[in-house]
Amino acid sequence: MLLRSIAALLLALAPAASPADDSDRAAQWPQWRGPNGDGSSPKGDPAVEWSETKNIRWKVAIPGSGSATPVVWGDKMFVLTAVNTGKKAPDAPPVPEPPAAGRGMSIASPGTIHQYQVICLDRLTGKTIWTKTAIEATPHEGIHGTNGYASGSPATDGKILIASFGSRGIFCFDLDGNEKWRKDLGVMKIKVGFGEGISPVLYGNSVVVNRDHEAGSFIVCLDAATGEEKWRQARDETTTWATPLVIEHGGKAQAVVNGTKRVRSYDLETGALIWECGGQTMNTIAMPLTRDGVVYVMSGYRGNAVYAIKLDSKGDVTSSADQVVWKRTDAGPYVASGVLTDGLLYFTKERNGILMCVDAKTGEVKYGPERLPDTDVLYASLMAAAGRIYISSREGTTLVLKAGPKFEILAKNKLPEALDASPVVIGKQLYLRGSNHLWCIEAR
């Protein structure tokens, strides 16, 4: 499932970008959670209202399936997908069994060749610039009915593009589609056969990849230029879909990764464990958020947990009242990551269309739980732009709320497909990837 730095004008304590990023990064969407790593668009001002026939700049079909959020640099948009050819490889050896570990049922592989593709579109017209098949391979295991084989979002710094197809490999391209390197990190065994969905993180000359599964979890840092390993650390975790967040704090970059047993922070340079904190729930997915020296870690499966933890922590801070600024156990998101803007933290409860808004400094509830109309199941992460909050659902509904301490719906918009990928904003254009199509929405 499921499956996404910073503008130069933001404080160094905001989610970290590469030191080499230029000041234009704030106008791009270089990763799953946008230029700030927190789902906000500092320069975006997208449409408030749309429908199938209103404020649609373009709509294109995306072949295959996948819920990876597109990323954008300049006028190029990059989309990942997996196309089932329906063919079995002639004279191919049997599909390898997943690693013998873990528990519960497993979903069988479809047994057919898939093309794992990277598609580059002109973001202004929707026209395809190039398509590259990173690899043709037969999946080793199946997936949940709402997942696909292209759920991890790519990342770019305007020079290279990092695409992860999980067990099929990590791939690096230039922005013209020329492959620079590929890295095989082995086959994953996912709990209950739900499928993979962790996104890679590109920071300077490092690519951070989390590999939580049922047969030996680890986190690894690769050289962005070559794909060679810089360091690798074993993780005492089973399956998660937890994408790391790289944060610059006190002159040092740390990679914060959620987990069922503990959230952990690793020194980006060496891989050494800096701090850890227990208290999360099972099946962690939501990406951490950060502001002003505090990181917010959330989970919401078979329980709820939202923790605000100081980034200057050292060692085990689970029971530290000084380092754990506040915590809540009455709500927490399962799949959809929250959003942090103007001192307020917005997140949903489990997979449900129930919204909470709290003060980021204190955890005090400003409103919620609020039931979101025509919004039952949420996979897409929340997005903020121009003083508004955008929330897309599997029902094809996108609600637009006024940002602030009062619950106020500005618009309710409907498209005919499930919206599992997170919203993307560049200027006045809003991009929504559905189960079969990609829309560019712009007020006319």
User: What are the tens digits of pLDDT across the range 80-134?
Assistant: 999 999 998 776 556 555 555 444 456 788 889 999 999 999 999 999 999 999 9
Let me know: does 44 contact 62? Beta carbons within 8 Å.
Answer: no
- Tell me the two tokens of residue 209: 């990849």
Ramachandran class of 145: left when φ > 0, alpha when ψ lies in -120 to 50, beta otherwise:
alpha
Assess if residue 157 is contained within a domain.
yes
Task: Let me know if residue 110 belongs to a domain.
Answer: yes
Residue 2 has pLDDT above 50, yes or no: no
In the chain, pLDDT over 70 holds for what percent of residues?
91
Which residue segment(s) compose the domain that 113 sits in? 23-441
Total-model pTM: 0.92
pLDDT of residue 98: 55
Cβ atoms of residues 341 and 401 within 8 Å = no
Q: What is the rounded distance in angstroms from the CA atom of residue 186 to the CA atom of residue 211?
A: 10
Sign of CA dihedral 137, 138, 141, 145: positive
Does a cis peptide bond (omega within 30 degrees of 0) precede residue 369? yes
71 found inside a domain = yes
Instruction: Provide the number of structural domains found in the chain.
Output: 1
Say if CB 140 and CB 167 are below 8 A apart: yes
Which has the minimum average pLDDT: 17-31, 61-75, 242-256? 17-31
Residue 12 lies in a domain: no
When pLDDT is cut at 50, 70 and 90, the band that residue 11 belongs to is: very low
Structural domain contains residue 305: yes
Q: Which residue has the tokens 């069922």?
A: 260
Residue 14 lies in a domain: no
Query: pLDDT tens, 411-421?
Result: 999 999 999 99
Amino acid at 74: G
The 10 Å Cβ neighbour count of residue 88 is 13
- Report if residue 394 sits inside a domain: yes
Q: Is 192 within the bounds of a domain?
A: yes
Residues 299-344 pLDDT 10s: 999 999 999 999 999 999 999 999 999 999 999 999 999 999 999 9
pLDDT for residue 236 is more than 80 = yes
Average pLDDT, the chain: 91
Indicate which CATH number applies to the domain containing 156. 2.130.10.10
Q: What is the pLDDT of residues 136-183, one digit of tens each?
A: 999 988 888 788 899 999 999 999 999 999 999 999 999 999 999 999
Q: Which residues contact 441 (CB under 8 A, 6 or more apart)?
A: 46, 47, 50, 55, 56, 57, 429, 430, 431, 432
Give, in order, the Cα–Cα distances in Å from 292 to each of 27, 35, 105, 167, 373: 22, 17, 43, 36, 33
